[in-house]
Structure 1
């Protein structure tokens, strides 16, 4: 299939390459779609427990609204060791990598495909892995879209509850309760049945147990919110980040907590209304629109069409300052002619809400957004 890239007046053929990348922490199955370009990042995805890149992201990337993005960017889907479709059982004696070690497989993946930088898109365990990767290798990450991220280690009470409920054995029902909220499990029987089938048939169950154990053994990311006039060397993500969660997701509290620890000048919090545990499956069009805005904020795809998200907004002082800075960068780039990339659309990217409108208890001066269906 040949697609025309109107922004650059060039024609390229969509290529799909599946490769096994050898790392010190095991083999990593990767799928690269499109052509890696020197002048722009690659979108790199990472899945959650109980999923692989197909069951996690196929719905999103096959949606028509994502085609404008994939037309401009190559996409690299990364599967955690032994989690890809049809994977054989990992060898006896193989020590499954920790979350930190999984993050350290990514520089090897990037080098393998000659990728110089990425925009990360990940959910759950994958979001944690990409956040850790960005902390360790900030020069390789231009932006992160993190869905359902939990930046904290599992507490001892959670650990005890998981032991009692059998999470250590990663039964399909326990994984389902990690991915979906109670309301969704009770009401959306077709969706739950589909993913229960995915978990039991598309994932090697022995390998899944090891991945779940690794995720439950994660340590705190220990990210800190920089004080306005405080220590500039605090541990924080250097790149822009978009935190996403559905309003009925079981990860809402964890994402809100993570947001409270992030740099408010670089972070946007998007809580999707009437959305469950997997926004990329539940509302792919809305998430694709948010991705377009986010990518525009990085200085790419200035001509992308935006139609779905609400343009109305109320803004906090921090949001106003952030948008004004964005306008200044846009004008600066317009004068320099840097690939004609602009940020003008980021001003209306999502409905920025005050704390009282977005989520009770949100810390002050956090940009937030809610998207209605």
Structure 2
């Protein structure tokens, strides 16, 4: 029973102290998302779609140069283009800058069936019938026989007209009629891989294109539009340019002294921290260092906190307090401390960043993600050395 009671008591102690155990420090150079899962975040601002990462990266892809305030404004009532046609071999540039239609091929003739032939008279034939309305040639009189001595002479027969043969008709066909016929042409069809947001019409950040070769006649009402037939807003919607930024953590330092003494007030700050702004038209994206929190490493002492990156103190400065100053005064030296560097305090800071977006050229900003970046410093703290000079005898 005593052993069981001791075991239950130990479990109670563990349960009571579990909430007070500090979390393990994040890996140097890493970051974690404060407002949800640690995966990538997606959204849209103006005519841009953006992505953020848990490690402090942020990207922006914009349509139409980011000048429109929304995708609906950019499209100006036109539908989102899902597929369009380009000339073959355009795989390297699916959203060209020019709006020229593909050059048409040479038209191939279509031979229609010949019309009924028109009879043409043989120019060498002799007509049999006398044309109507023409005068009839006079028939010469029959000569009278002259009596001869021989009474039994046979009278000469009256000559008769020799019949004329009917000429043969030669059929000459009318020249065949040729008209151009529209040929089937092979085009490169490009299509979106994902559907846009049904409310904002914003394309997803991972928007991509698929391509294939298709055959259409240009007059086919079912074919996709040529790139040149898309509106200016539709072409701008598809022509997206990526811009990239990243939160760069700073270096943790103390000022005005880099090796403070016991009782000396110093300020922690970070130098070189940067969340550079990226922009396109009216859309903006940036990282802002909200505040700095520092664990000084001296046992039993509280952490210090200041806004932004912390203000550095100049030598001889009398004002060493304020919300932007992470001021601290050590009470013990770092001699004998066992850290990565002997005889130093393991100072561990955390930069608290906010990734922001703006749709009005920076007039207003919205927070879209919070990110922490760890910073470290092994700090040597010394004590005041007193020089004792013996008195002269």
TM range (shorter): under 0.3
Larger strand proportion, structure 1 or 2?
A: 2
Q: TM-score, normalised by structure 2?
A: 0.21
Q: TM-score, normalised by structure 1?
A: 0.21
Larger helix proportion, structure 1 or 2?
A: 1
Q: Which has the higher contact order (CA 8 A, sep 6+)?
A: 2
